[in-house]
């Protein structure tokens, strides 16, 4: 007979999901109520306000899609891209490629702006593409590329798009709550994220926000949105307004409790404090890695503090290292994807997982595992280097 499932206790330092705060896990165990219950509707309004704070926006159309971050991405594309339209898509990693897929599946024509993996999006290339494609309706890009740990200049990219009459779709799945995301300051049009990264809630919810220009485009569509479930106007019948809501779908009630609690925790800490915390622990991790002789793929000016792409030393089997970390330390780190496969580890410091204990665990575990494999590293220096950062900060 199949028994109940009890997962092992892990420390999650990969590209997501991240460690979930105990308060968030406890929130999921609260009584399930109806998705049209007046108290649940009241909580939904609080989720909207908390997401507006997290996104730094006053957009009324800010809510949580009942599905992971990939559905938030699709929600933006299916609502804003009509058949035959040109969309300029920036790709400097895996997730720009997924944007391209979305454009094609909506019947649009992607115009690709390619940059090397691990490099930020080149503003000059984007402007050249905008000049060469005056019929383009949208510019889509990833703010924080999870596959490589690089961030691009969202504010400058949004300004370029406006200069050439384009709306913007921005991926902030890995950046929201970890580094500065300021939707109104950027004047971005459609922005999506995920619950399982720096918000430290379980996977399965995708925060999104649509600005006024984007909403007007959706209202003016001449074709039906290809997804019934992700049709913005249908979803807003459930999420928009005060009081009574129209039935659209049965919301993942307990997951929304979890997101609510995670956003309350973020509000209690304060966005600027959360950003500073991620930066501090990144600096400690970096000091330890570099003391050991490990190198970062991304130039310092463009590195994400919450997603660290660390090069695998020559002669080391990166998969064996990850397996040993999981087996001996119950510690998860991520592998490289695409062009980075086999070349990097992706080390996450996201949300609740961005803490001193995790940094020191990772450094001591890597020191031991790589040392046992006779990797070309400097032994017994990483933890002290990190502690030096903490003593200063």
Domain layout of the chain by residue ranges: 21-268, 271-392
Give me the residue label for tokens 């994400």.
304
Strands annotated E in the chain: 11-12, 61-65, 86-91, 109-114, 138-142, 144-145, 150-151, 167-171, 190-192, 206-210, 307-311, 331-332, 334-335, 344-348
Contact 166, 138 (CB under 8 A): yes
Which residues in the chain come in under a pLDDT of 70?
241-244
How confident is the model at residue 241, as a pLDDT?
61
How confident is the model at residue 66, as a pLDDT?
96
Both tokens of residue 169?
């779709």
Distance separating alpha carbons of residues 180 and 163, to the nearest angstrom = 23
How confident is the model at residue 293, as a pLDDT?
97
Q: Cis peptide before 17, with omega less than 30 degrees from 0?
A: yes
Helix or strand or coil: residue 207? Answer: strand
Both tokens of residue 368?
């031991």
Contact 73, 171 (CB under 8 A): yes
Distance separating alpha carbons of residues 250 and 33, to the nearest angstrom = 11
Distance of alpha carbon 258 from the chain centroid:
17
How confident is the model at residue 244, as a pLDDT?
66
DSSP 156: H
Give me the residue label for tokens 């915390």.
277
Contact 94, 270 (CB under 8 A): no
DSSP 296: B
Contact 275, 289 (CB under 8 A): no
CATH architecture entry for 271-392: Alpha-Beta Complex (3.90)
With left for phi above 0 and alpha for psi between -120 and 50, is residue 10 left, alpha or beta? beta
Its CATH class, for the domain covering 21-268, is alpha beta
How does strand 331-332 pair with strand 11-12?
parallel
CB environment 356-379: b (16+ within 10 A), e (fewer)? eebbbbbbbbbbbbbeeeebebee
With left for phi above 0 and alpha for psi between -120 and 50, is residue 42 left, alpha or beta? alpha
* Mean per-residue pLDDT of the chain: 96
CA atoms within 13 A on the CB side of 345: 25
How confident is the model at residue 242, as a pLDDT?
57
Contact 204, 195 (CB under 8 A): yes
Contact 256, 205 (CB under 8 A): yes
How confident is the model at residue 249, as a pLDDT?
92
The alpha-helical segments, DSSP class H, found in 29-67 are 38-55
Radius of gyration of the chain (CA): 21
Distance separating alpha carbons of residues 100 and 151, to the nearest angstrom = 19
Helix or strand or coil: residue 325? Answer: helix
């Amino acid at each position: 007979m199949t028994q109940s499932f009890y997962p092992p206790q892990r420390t999650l330092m990969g590209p997501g999901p991240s460690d979930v705060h105990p308060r968030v896990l406890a929130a999921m165990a609260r009584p399930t109520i109806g998705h049209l219950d007046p108290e649940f509707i009241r909580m939904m309004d609080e989720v909207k306000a908390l997401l507006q704070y997290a996104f730094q926006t006053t957009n009324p159309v800010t809510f949580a899609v009942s599905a992971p971050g990939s559905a938030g991405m699709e929600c933006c594309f299916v609502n804003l891209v009509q058949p035959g339209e040109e969309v300029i898509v920036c790709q400097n990693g895996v997730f720009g490629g997924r944007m391209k897929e979305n454009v094609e599946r909506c019947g649009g024509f992607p115009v690709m702006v390619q940059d090397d993996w691990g490099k930020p999006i080149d503003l000059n290339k984007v402007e050249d593409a905008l000049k060469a494609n005056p019929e383009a309706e949208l510019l889509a890009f990833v703010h924080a590329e999870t596959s490589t740990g690089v961030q691009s200049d969202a504010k400058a990219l949004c300004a370029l798009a406006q200069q050439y009459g384009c709306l913007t779709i921005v991926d902030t799945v890995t950046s929201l709550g970890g580094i500065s995301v300021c939707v109104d300051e950027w004047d971005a049009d459609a922005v999506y994220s995920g619950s399982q990264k720096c918000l430290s809630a379980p996977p399965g919810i995708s925060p999104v926000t649509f600005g006024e220009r984007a909403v007007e485009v959706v209202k003016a569509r001449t074709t039906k949105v290809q997804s019934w479930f992700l049709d913005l106007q249908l979803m807003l019948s459930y999420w928009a307004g005060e009081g009574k809501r129209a039935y659209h779908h049965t919301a993942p009630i307990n997951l929304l409790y979890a997101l609510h609690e995670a956003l309350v925790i973020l509000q209690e800490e304060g966005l600027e404090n959360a950003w500073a915390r991620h930066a501090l622990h990144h600096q400690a991790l970096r000091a330890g890695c570099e003391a050991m002789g490990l190198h970062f793929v991304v130039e310092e000016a463009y590195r994400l503090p919450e997603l660290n792409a660390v090069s695998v030393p020559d002669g080391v089997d990166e998969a064996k290292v990850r397996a040993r970390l999981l087996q001996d330390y119950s510690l998860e780190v991520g592998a490289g994807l695409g062009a980075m496969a086999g070349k990097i580890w992706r080390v996450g410091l996201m949300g609740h997982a961005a803490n001193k204990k995790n940094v020191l665990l990772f450094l001591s575990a890597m020191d031991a595992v790589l040392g046992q494999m006779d990797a070309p590293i400097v032994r017994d220096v990483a933890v002290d280097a990190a502690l030096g950062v903490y003593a200063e900060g």
